[in-house]
């Protein structure tokens, strides 16, 4: 007896087993649909849940300071959504929890009260080389701000005539005496101080321009220095206009808060 065997071709197999072919097709379609659904869910899913918060600034009140805080947040956290409400002095933030913590830390570091310094200027006076006395002036200045002190009189100066002499004259007033301007920028261990000390007085002689025009003597010291709180510094000395007196200017800064 002779036995003959032969392998069935794929074509013969598919034709011979339609149920198996249908099952394979169903499995392939289900797998494709599952993969597509997984891709859609992955695209829609967010890596982190965002949170929202509005933070109010309590110490910074100037518009330029408010803008600086916003710019710092934008530069440090470029993916965070920020909106500044200057009328409320507030910043609304939408970010991931991690970025929100960083934003809170940045604002806390920047939103602090300005340092206040007590400046004491001492004008040590001498006449013909002999010590005659001292004058002390005290003022408070904030870091980044300016304070002006004036002591003296206002002298009228005729600047013109209104039509004719009967209708009156035009008068302006000039500050005569001592004028001190101080600007401070504080840093960790000290401050940068700009001091302008001006001494003026009216001379006894008259101006040749007009009988009522005074001659004013003026001496100005304009100095920029670096101070350590609690340590005095000699800024310079000046001659008092119209006299033989001389003044040495000394300043000391103390941190108030």
Note whether residue 129 is domain-resident: yes
Both structure tokens of 144: 């980044």
| Residue range(s) defining the domain that contains residue 74 | 51-110
State how many domains the chain has.
2
Is 37 among the domain residues? no
pLDDT of residue 97: 93
Residues 64 and 138 in one domain: no
Tell me, yes or no, whether 127 and 226 share the same domain: yes
From CA 106, how far away is CA 85, in angstroms rounded?
17
Query: Could you tell me if residue 7 is inside a domain?
Result: no
Same domain, 179 and 124: yes
This prediction has a pTM of 0.59
Q: Which residues of the chain have pLDDT under 70?
A: 1-48, 160-168, 206-212, 241-242
| Sign of the Cα pseudo-torsion (217, 222, 228, 233, in order) | negative
Write down the pLDDT at residue 192: 93
* Token reading at 127: 């006449």
Q: Cα–Cα distance between 76 and 66 in angstroms, integer? A: 16
Among the three residues 66, 94, 110, which one is the final residue of a domain in this structure? 110
- How crowded is residue 6: how many other Cβ atoms within 10 Å of its Cβ? 6
Q: Is 35 a domain residue?
A: no
Residue 76 counted as domain residue: yes
- Could you tell me if 149 and 214 lie in one domain? yes
143 in the same domain as 68:
no
Is 170 among the domain residues?
yes
pLDDT at 17: 54
- 101 three-state secondary structure: helix
* Cα 229 to Cα 56: distance, rounded to the nearest angstrom: 32
**Whether residue 103 sits in one domain with residue 126:** no
Domain end residue (candidates: 75, 92, 110): 110
- What's residue 2's pLDDT? 42
């Amino acid at each position: 007896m002779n036995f003959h065997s032969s392998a069935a071709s794929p074509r013969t197999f598919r034709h011979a087993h339609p149920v198996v072919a249908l099952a394979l097709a169903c499995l392939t379609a289900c797998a494709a649909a599952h993969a597509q659904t997984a891709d859609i869910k992955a695209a829609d899913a967010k890596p982190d849940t965002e949170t929202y918060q509005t933070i109010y600034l309590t110490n910074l009140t100037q518009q330029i300071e408010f803008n600086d805080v916003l710019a710092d947040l934008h530069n440090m956290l470029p993916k965070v959504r920020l909106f500044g409400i200057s009328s409320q002095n507030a910043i609304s933030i939408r970010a991931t929890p991690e970025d929100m913590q960083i934003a809170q830390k940045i604002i806390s570091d920047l939103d602090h009260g300005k340092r206040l310094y007590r400046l004491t200027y001492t004008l040590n006076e001498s006449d013909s080389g002999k010590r005659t006395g001292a004058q002390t002036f005290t003022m408070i200045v904030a870091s980044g701000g300016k304070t002006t002190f004036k002591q003296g009189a206002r002298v009228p100066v005729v600047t013109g005539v209104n039509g004719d002499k009967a209708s009156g004259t035009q008068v302006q007033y000039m500050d005569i005496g001592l004028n001190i301007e101080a600007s401070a920028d504080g840093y960790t261990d000290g401050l940068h101080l700009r001091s302008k000390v001006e001494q003026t007085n009216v001379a006894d002689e008259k101006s040749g321009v007009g009988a009522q025009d005074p001659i004013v003597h003026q001496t100005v010291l304009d100095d920029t220095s670096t101070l350590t709180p609690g340590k005095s510094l000699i800024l310079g000395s000046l001659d008092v206009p119209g006299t033989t007196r001389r003044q040495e200017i000394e300043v000391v800064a103390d941190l108030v808060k």
